[in-house]
Chains A and B, each alone.
Chain A
């Protein structure tokens, strides 16, 4: 077990370096110059611009800039925004908690509702109820999340007036409910479908017949015997899903005006603030990597036959 975790952590290093380098290179390739943009319309002495670039280390070749960035990162320094002079760590610590909260809400919603729908449909596979729920999940998958966002906003905020169309800067938990439902809807449909298939398949398993035959209460048969065996594919999906939710939040945040990571990335891209974009994407990649490691470890909890060497 310990050796397995160590090996997985080691494998993460090249992936971590690769994805930061990839994003770094893409930002490097962006047209436009953040230093020149500082001057706006005014004409500036090229020598001054060159000096500023030298001070900021922007005149170095890509690999050198990247090594500098990585070196600073390991000392906990995410760099500084060129235009505002704000440390990127500040921007991240402002924006990330909001997006994490939004993503966790969406995640909880996905897990609770998705698995419930899946069990509900899977227990009565190939009945009208099952077919209806399957069609419903298909419809949910086919609506792009930003369209769903606008529809729910139109309905709940403009027509019914139950919620404010825009989330305030504090992003209180109650305000994030509607955005979280929008963000989680696609994953919810996938989770429901995966659970449904898995449950329907495992219902026919021998251990289920045994559990029923020896007179266990229905709650225990379904809650323990069936669920424990049916959840492995669902857990696999959920592991990669948390990172996807953080990335998808970019779109949802735009619709509801949430001042989270999506907003920060958008601003940074507009002003060519490379350090901010790389910092945020790096953090999301780390969340994704850690989540997939946790999932792999969870397999052993769900299925004791799985051993790690």
Chain B
């Protein structure tokens, strides 16, 4: 059967090219290590990476199992404790060590439980944006021509609309202040950055020898895209996505502060900053404490993204 024989030969050849694509990763370092394991080798020695990784693990633990950090209920309000007790360094991590907010709720419990809403919004938005923006960017970059023209113009349209202003318009059209609404609004406008990065990255990769070889051997387009382009183009996208994740934490807080993002009874840092702003003059710590949580989280993700970028970028070695 010549057809079957031809198919096996072709398959074997394709496998060989696939292996070459994998090797292209490794060839960037002198030692036969892959790009990622080489980066990991660097990262383990980078204090910024270690600090941000520890912070992120802690924050994720807070989001997944807040009960581990406090036994107080973040929604339990005792008006008798209205702004009772300023932050107290004497009994750190007790339920009331950061005092009570205007409705007599434990601020510490609200900080811990707020992690879940804020981080899940940011993580889900980042995943949506990376998948959608990644696909758009990959198609535009790989096919070029009119596909690129159309996709790039559509990206431009969304990119030109100011982020917070656009999100305000989207969010006003929903009566409901639920998590998924905020997630959709942020993802709707946020994918353009990833699409641009992915497009640029794919355009560079598509000229590589192993892609040419795969094409010459008649590999199908999905196979080239998934096995050759995707693994080699994904690094800059991941870096940008990590840094953007920090930005979405901050965006959620901003929208909730404007009164169009999350709202009570959802416990989130943005909601608490918004209610703390009313008493800024007399009780500034009610605003400052959740702000610190936002800043720490944003900082952790930006430092992580920075560290990964430095480890992946051979120019900086």
A246 CB–B CB distance under 8 Å:
yes
A-B residue pairs in contact (CB < 8 Å), sample of 19: A11-B153, A15-B153, A23-B166, A31-B173, A138-B303, A139-B295, A141-B246, A141-B299, A142-B296, A142-B299, A142-B302, A146-B257, A146-B273, A147-B273, A153-B280, A247-B166, A281-B161, A281-B166, A288-B162
B288 CB–A CB distance under 8 Å:
yes
Q: From the candidates B158, B164, B273, B284, name the one contacting A247 in the complex (CB within 8 A).
A: B164
Q: From the candidates B153, B154, B162, B280, name the one contacting A154 in the complex (CB within 8 A).
A: B280
For chain A, residues 256 to 309, give those with C-beta under 8 angstroms from any C-beta of chain B. 265-266, 269, 277, 281, 284-285, 288-289
Please classify the interface of chain B as helix (H, G, I), strand (E, B), loop, or mixed, using the class held by over half of its residues: helix
Contacts of B245 in A (CB 8 A): none
Contact size range, B: 35 or more
Taking a contact as CB atoms under 8 Å apart, the answer to whether B280 and A138 are in contact is no
Taking a contact as CB atoms under 8 Å apart, the answer to whether B288 and A26 are in contact is no
Taking a contact as CB atoms under 8 Å apart, the answer to whether B160 and A289 are in contact is yes
Taking a contact as CB atoms under 8 Å apart, the answer to whether B162 and A150 are in contact is no
- Please give the distance in Å from A34's CB to the nearest CB on chain B: 13
Taking a contact as CB atoms under 8 Å apart, the answer to whether A141 and B162 are in contact is no
Q: Contact flags (1/0) for B5-29 with A, using CB distance below 8 Å?
A: 0000000000000000000000000
In the bound complex, CA of A151 to CA of B276 (Å): 12
B31 CB–A CB distance under 8 Å:
no
In the bound complex, CA of A294 to CA of B236 (Å): 28
Taking a contact as CB atoms under 8 Å apart, the answer to whether B170 and A26 are in contact is yes
Taking a contact as CB atoms under 8 Å apart, the answer to whether B281 and A158 are in contact is yes
Contacts of A144 in B (CB 8 A): 250, 253-254, 257, 291, 294-295, 298
Taking a contact as CB atoms under 8 Å apart, the answer to whether B168 and A147 are in contact is no
- Please give the distance in Å from A59's CB to the nearest CB on chain B: 20
- Please give the distance in Å from B33's CB to the nearest CB on chain A: 25
- Please give the distance in Å from B162's CB to the nearest CB on chain A: 2
For chain B, residues 242 to 288, give those with C-beta under 8 angstroms from any C-beta of chain A. 246, 250, 253-254, 257-258, 273, 277, 280-281, 284, 287-288
- Please give the distance in Å from A144's CB to the nearest CB on chain B: 4
Chain A residues near B (Cβ < 8 Å)? 11, 14-15, 18-19, 22-23, 26-27, 29-31, 138-139, 141-147, 150-151, 153-154, 158, 243-244, 246-248, 250-251, 254, 265-266, 269, 277, 281, 284-285, 288-289
Taking a contact as CB atoms under 8 Å apart, the answer to whether B298 and A141 are in contact is yes
Given contacts A27-B169, A269-B172, contact A139 B299 (CB under 8 A): yes
Of all chain B residues, the one with the shortest Cβ separation from A15 is B156
Contacts of B161 in A (CB 8 A): 19, 22-23, 281, 285
In the bound complex, CA of A284 to CA of B163 (Å): 12
- Please give the distance in Å from A22's CB to the nearest CB on chain B: 6
B165 CB–A CB distance under 8 Å:
yes
In the bound complex, CA of A96 to CA of B246 (Å): 31
In the bound complex, CA of A153 to CA of B153 (Å): 41
Given contacts A31-B173, A265-B168, A269-B169, contact A150 B163 (CB under 8 A): no
Contacts of B257 in A (CB 8 A): 144, 146, 251
B157 CB–A CB distance under 8 Å:
yes
B30 CB–A CB distance under 8 Å:
no
Q: From the candidates B165, B173, B246, B294, name the one contacting A281 in the complex (CB within 8 A).
A: B165
Contacts of B250 in A (CB 8 A): 142, 144
B175 CB–A CB distance under 8 Å:
yes
Taking a contact as CB atoms under 8 Å apart, the answer to whether A142 and B273 are in contact is no
Contacts of B169 in A (CB 8 A): 23, 26-27, 269, 277, 281
Taking a contact as CB atoms under 8 Å apart, the answer to whether A15 and B165 are in contact is no
Taking a contact as CB atoms under 8 Å apart, the answer to whether A18 and B294 are in contact is no
Taking a contact as CB atoms under 8 Å apart, the answer to whether A251 and B164 are in contact is yes
In the bound complex, CA of A13 to CA of B92 (Å): 59
Of all chain A residues, the one with the shortest Cβ separation from B257 is A146
Taking a contact as CB atoms under 8 Å apart, the answer to whether A281 and B254 are in contact is no
- Please give the distance in Å from B281's CB to the nearest CB on chain A: 5
- Please give the distance in Å from A149's CB to the nearest CB on chain B: 10
- Please give the distance in Å from B45's CB to the nearest CB on chain A: 16
Taking a contact as CB atoms under 8 Å apart, the answer to whether B295 and A243 are in contact is no
Q: Contact flags (1/0) for B202-223 with A, using CB distance below 8 Å?
A: 0000000000000000000000
Most buried by A among B158, B160, B175, B287: B160
Taking a contact as CB atoms under 8 Å apart, the answer to whether B288 and A250 are in contact is no
Q: From the candidates B157, B280, B291, B294, name the one contacting A19 in the complex (CB within 8 A).
A: B157
Given contacts A250-B168, A269-B169, contact A15 B298 (CB under 8 A): no
